[in-house]
Structure 1
Amino acid sequence: MGPIPIPASTIETTENGEVVRRPNPDFSAWKKSDCLLRRWITSSLTEEVLGLVVGNDTAAQVWKTLIGAFARESKDREIMLTRKLQLFRKQDKSVTEYVTWFKAICDELAAIGKPLTDEDK
């Protein structure tokens, strides 16, 4: 879908031969939706992360800031978790312990948007 362009805050109409500027109802509707979305996103953030988005005026700005802040961290985490999977050996662990550990790593990868394919499992 993509971002919705911000409508102009006012529109011009002609009344009795004069140009009149009025509030744009499309802008009002967009502003309400954007405020609701921005509140929804920020309400789920920790105080530390919330500090990253202070001053962002739109939900799109908040989202872009969060993506920028966490994209590298997620990539580093993905590399570390994948490496753990590659190096892990069952050794003296029970099958239950091994499966529990493996599932936890798979869940962590899924949480950062990098789930293992069935083929990789």
Structure 2
Amino acid sequence: PLSENIKELFYTNSGKKRSVVVDYGLCILNYARCLSIQKKYEEANKMIDKACKYYYVFPKLNHLSQLEKGMNLFYNKSKIGLEQITNSLKDLDQLDEKFTKSETRIIKKAKRLIKK
């Protein structure tokens, strides 16, 4: 964790999300996605791990990132890739949140990988 005090780092005094910290994590995640497109899966996973440090208190973002990491592991022929995908999908199913089109597309892609 970046800070012991989660409220200080991720929330303003009024209780709203402090978007600067989360947005920085999302920038790193987008870079990781670019690396994945280039088939640089190991580097992408390192960046995903780094990005998660900036939004670990938000389960939806964190689980989606771990899902993408699992997909990268799968593409990189790692044995733990399918396990990570399965666990992340279970975690996402337990959330009571709606997903955007792009998030839904990632989830469907992961489910297709499991069926292979």
TM-score (norm 2): 0.32
User: Looking at both structures, which has the greater relative contact order when contacts are Cα pairs under 8 Å and sequence separation is at least 6?
Assistant: 2
Greater percentage in helix: 2
Q: Greater Rg, structure 1 or structure 2?
A: 1
Greater percentage in strand: 1
TM-score (norm 1): 0.31
